[in-house]
Amino acid sequence: DIKGFIFDLDGVITLTSKYHGQAWHQLADELGVTWTKALADGLKGISRMDSLEMILKAGNKENDYTEEEKIRFAAKKNDNYLTLIGKMTDEDILPGIPAFLKDLAAHNYKICLASASKNSPIILEKLDLVKYFPIVVDPSKLKKGKPDPEIYVRGAELLHLKPEECIGIEDAAAGIQAINGAGETSIGIGDATELSAADIRFARTTDMTLVNIEAAMKINA
């Protein structure tokens, strides 16, 4: 039986994914790396330093900079990102998410956050969602980022649940791979081709309701 839900943040609860993309795009331009949709999609859910490595690799520049320079690039991207998210409010929560969270709480499901973002506590505050997420996986304590399952394994542990009792929710292929690897049920929000590995997929957040999830789980069973 499903007893808990483990949420990704960027792209599931709010579209910070758009701002991450903009900030990386600007850095890629400065580094002379061509920005493509494939690169943008591949970066979703990937940690800050791993994202920078992917961008440098895309431009065959992975050996061009020192560790110090790379840390400076990542810090610059983050400053830019923090400016972009500066004006976010609870109106930036994706449609259907507040009702879904309320429904989960009313049915006593356990909830936690499994975002790769070190900025997620700030964003939860801006969105006024801290009350739903007293439990947040700390990404700085993990050995490996998504697509490694570690973050979703840790999420289930923090909820005191077995992986098979948890549903993970993601907008990125790397995240779905992490949920599946953890032995949890995966829900993908977004594009069918990008999220073909998800156990259940919804085109948009408003389709994600307990009724629709229960129906999809019956079909899959």
- Going by the annotation, the residues of the binding site are 8-10, 24, 43-48, 51, 77, 115-119, 146, 170-171
Q: What are phi and psi of 202, to 5 degrees?
A: -120, 140
Q: Is 10 a catalytic residue?
A: yes
Q: Which amino acid is at 100?
A: F
> Which residue among 1, 8, 29, 50 is the active-site one?
8
SS3 34: coil
Tell which residue, 86, 20, 85, has the closest CA to residue 50.
20
Say how far apart CA 120 and CA 200 lie, in whole Å: 25
- Select from Mg ion, ligand G16, none the partner in contact with residue 119, using the beta carbon and a kind-dependent cut-off of 5 to 8 Å: ligand G16
Tell the smallest beta-carbon distance from residue 170 to Mg ion (Å). Answer: 6
Tell the smallest beta-carbon distance from residue 112 to ligand G16 (Å). Answer: 13
Binding mask 99-138 for Mg ion (x = CB under 5 A): ----------------------------------------
Query: Does the footprint of Mg ion cover residue 168 (CB under 5 A)?
Result: no
Tell which residue, 19, 171, 11, has the closest CA to residue 87.
19
Residue with Cβ nearer ligand G16 (25 or 221) = 25
∠ at Cα 182 (132, 44), nearest 5°? Answer: 70
